[in-house]
Amino acid sequence: MTRVDTTRSAAPVAGQPASAPQTSEASPLPRRRRWSARSRRDAWIFLAFALPNLVLIAIFTYRPLIANIQYSTLDWTLGADFATAVGLQNYITFFTSSDAPQVLGVTAIFTVFTVGGAMILGMLIALALNQRLPGRTFVRSTIFAPYVLSGVGVGLVWLFIFDPVYGALSWILRGIGVASPQWINDPNLALVMVIIVYVWKNLGYCAVVYLAGLQSIPRDVLEAASLDGAGPVRRFLKVSLPLLSPTTFFLLITSLLSSLQAFDILRIMTPTGQGTNTLMFEAYLQAFGAYNRAGYSAAISVVLFALLLIMTVLQMRFVEWKVHYA
């Protein structure tokens, strides 16, 4: 008699689905270690490089910012041993004073004309320097040189030029029989004077950055537009200018922040703020001028900080939508 092996499964009958093979219970996968030796090493390297910078930023940036906000709530005369907490009274005093519209208006005019003038003229100079002209390397260095010069030195030189009695400009005007304007004594002309100087100083920065942007535009794109019949003006407006939008966005943010914080040229050319009282300069005059109102000056500084923060966020939120990244 033949012994039958009952441990084998019977062969499937035709027309019936085959039963799934029996498998043993799956063993659980080993847990992955969250912190390996390499991860710990990378974390320590990151802390070694980042921690000193974070400490310096916290000490020299955020700590003074928090302290300034605290000072803005005090009625404190600079140098006094005691201060009185007044809450938001310094802010109320600033916004309800007759000087607030003038200070905010001067700040807006100075910022718009310095940023717009430097960017527009810088774009035109960059277009000229992008051509193959003899001596263009020397011209680039000459254009960029004022940007790296000291603002105090620039202010002193231009103060001599604009001096209505002994200045170089007044000497030229007298030579052609024209009286020199009172640049320093007239508040309106004083604002025009510092705008001209500030645009001249920052013109090279915008020109060099725009020139770098122009040289990064692919040549085949411009050649394709030229073959399609586009002239120089149309190629610039339809091709080059949209491709320069990242450069324009970068210059707009950096130039705007720089203009709102301008101080050295204003201090040298108009020491008492004759019509050039921007928010930054007004904060200085209130604290270190004839008033010594440290708490009130701190409140103006906080207003300037809030304005810078709002304008930066708005630019990052809305203006960047029109930026075309390659």
pLDDT tens sequence across 131-169:
887 777 888 888 888 998 888 999 999 998 998 888 888
Looking at residue 104, its pLDDT comes to 93
**Phi/psi of residue 17, each to 5°?**
-65, 145
Q: Can you give the pLDDT at residue 29?
A: 54
Q: What is the 3-state secondary structure (H, E, C) of the chain?
A: CCCCCCCCCCCCCCCCCCCCCCCCCCCCCCCCCCCCHHHHHHHHHHHHHHHHHHHHHHHHHHHHHHHHHHHCCEECECCCCCCEECCCHHHHHHHHCCHHHHHHHHHHHHHHHHHHHHHHHHHHHHHHHCCCCCCHHHHHHHHHHHHHCCHHHHHHHHHHHHCCCCCHHHHHHHHCCCCCCCCCCCHHHHHHHHHHHHHHHHHHHHHHHHHHHHHCCCHHHHHHHHHCCCCHHHHHHHHHHHHCHHHHHHHHHHHHHHHHCCCHHHHHHCCCCCCCCCHHHHHHHHHHCCCCEHHHHHHHHHHHHHHHHHHHHHHHHCHHHHCCCC
Residue 2's pLDDT band, with cuts at 50, 70 and 90, is very low
- Both tokens assigned to 53: 């910078």
Yes or no: say if 197 and 269 are a contact pair by the CB < 8 Å rule.
yes
Distance, CA of 230 to CA of 223 (rounded, Å): 10
Q: Where residue 237 falls among pLDDT bands split at 50, 70, 90? A: confident
CA distance 318 to 326: 19
Assigned token pair, 108? 């807006």
- Interacting residues of 83 by C-beta distance below 8 A, sequence separation 6+: 74, 75, 76, 295
Residue 41, pLDDT > 80, answer yes
Residue 186's pLDDT band, with cuts at 50, 70 and 90, is: confident
Read off the pLDDT of each residue in 296-303 and give the average, rounded to a whole number. Answer: 93
108 vs 311: CA distance, rounded Å:
12
How many Å apart are CA 265 and CA 278, to the nearest integer? 12
Whether pLDDT at 102 is above 50: yes
Residue 245: the pLDDT is 86
> Residue 22 pLDDT > 80, yes or no?
no
Please tell me the predicted confidence (pLDDT) of residue 4.
45
Q: Give the pLDDT band (50/70/90) at residue 223.
A: confident
pLDDT the model gives residue 10: 46
Q: What share of the chain in percent tops pLDDT 90?
A: 37
Strands 84-85 and 74-75: antiparallel
Record the tokens describing residue 142, joined without a space: 């000459």
Place of tokens 């062969």: 11
pLDDT band at 33 (very low <50, low <70, confident <90, very high): low
* pLDDT score recorded for residue 9: 46
